[in-house]
Amino acid sequence: MKSICVISGGGSGMGLEAAKILGRKHKIILMGRTVAKLENAVKQLRDAGIEAEAYPADASHRESVRQLAAYASQQGEVKVLIHAAGVSPHMTDAQKIFEINAIGTMNMDEEFVKIMPEGSCILNVSSMSAYMLPADKAPKQIYKLSLSDAEAFRLAVNQMLSQVPPEQQTGTAYTLSKNFVLWYTARMAVKFGKQGIRIVSISPGTFKTPMGEIEGKEAASFAERGALGRMGEPEEIAEMMAFMVSDECSYLTGVDILYDGGSVAALQAMREDRAQ
């Protein structure tokens, strides 16, 4: 059977760059909502000699993801899932941000563990923003609802966001959604580790991708104040993503890799110095 790698949000940026690497060993299925972007990405991959196809789907809709998982499993063994699809605070409203980033992650992980074999790996893409929320401020009791009642989880989060000042809601929703991805990844890794499925996450900093461009000068300035003093190239994080899902990382699960050029480290150092 063919070895299949499914990448959500693979129409551009780091997802597409990861596909170029993983396509050396796997057939690639790119999933996303924008058909034209997917088709352009597939053409790039095929021109490079990679077997690839597009599958339009929406991670925030469970049935759409269920159909994708069923289709992918018919093509071969789904050995890798990279869930890179997501939206930033500048792209939509708070409720939709959480729906796509958090509920979307739940949908992808929960449907794909049903069809992935032993020795496979899921990589969820979070964000360095997840680290901006102190551990003692994370609403873990609300996060736990995701394991038993997705609707109750959604309602509890919406209630929490409604209490945030309107001008802060999108930023709060983004930070919460990405912090949830870290928590959820660890929980899913524990739950499915005995089945031989590894589940990890990666938290990118600011990269030269379409989403990075949307975030604009503020994000670029934050990266420039980081330890390395620059934005990242999509190819740099793609190499790490490909390594994390490879057999060479067969003992890595339940953890997040903060891949931000030292932006969070620089921020923490600055705060500590100011507090002295």
pLDDT at residue number 275 = 86
Q: Cα dist. 31→10, 41, 70, 203 in Å?
A: 6, 11, 13, 20
Q: Domain range holding 146?
A: 3-275
3-state secondary structure 79-135: EEEEECCCCCCCCCCHHHHHHHHHHHHHHHHHHHCCCCCCCCEEEEECCHHHHHCCH
What is the model's pTM? 0.95
| Beta carbons of 263 and 206 less than 8 angstroms apart | yes
pLDDT at residue number 218 = 76
The domain that holds 112 is classified in CATH as 3.40.50.720
Per-residue pLDDT tens for 185-226? 999 999 999 999 999 999 999 998 776 666 667 778 888 999
CB pairs under 8 A, 24+ apart, for 89-93?
89/170, 89/171, 89/173, 89/174, 90/170, 90/214, 90/215, 90/216, 91/214, 92/170, 93/169, 93/170
pLDDT at residue number 209 = 76
User: Which tokens is 66 given?
Assistant: 């269920």
* Tally of domains within the chain: 1
Per-residue pLDDT tens for 23-77? 999 999 999 999 999 999 999 999 999 999 999 999 999 999 999 999 999 999 9
pLDDT at residue number 211 = 67
Query: Among residues 240, 254, 257, which one has the least CA distance to residue 203?
Result: 257
What average pLDDT does range 110-135 have in this prediction?
A: 97
Per-residue pLDDT tens for 162-186? 999 999 999 999 999 999 999 999 9
Neighbouring C-beta atoms of residue 225, cutoff 10 Å: 12
Alpha-carbon span 55 to 241, nearest angstrom: 21
Per-residue pLDDT tens for 221-254? 888 999 999 999 999 999 999 999 999 999 999 9
| Beta carbons of 123 and 105 less than 8 angstroms apart | no
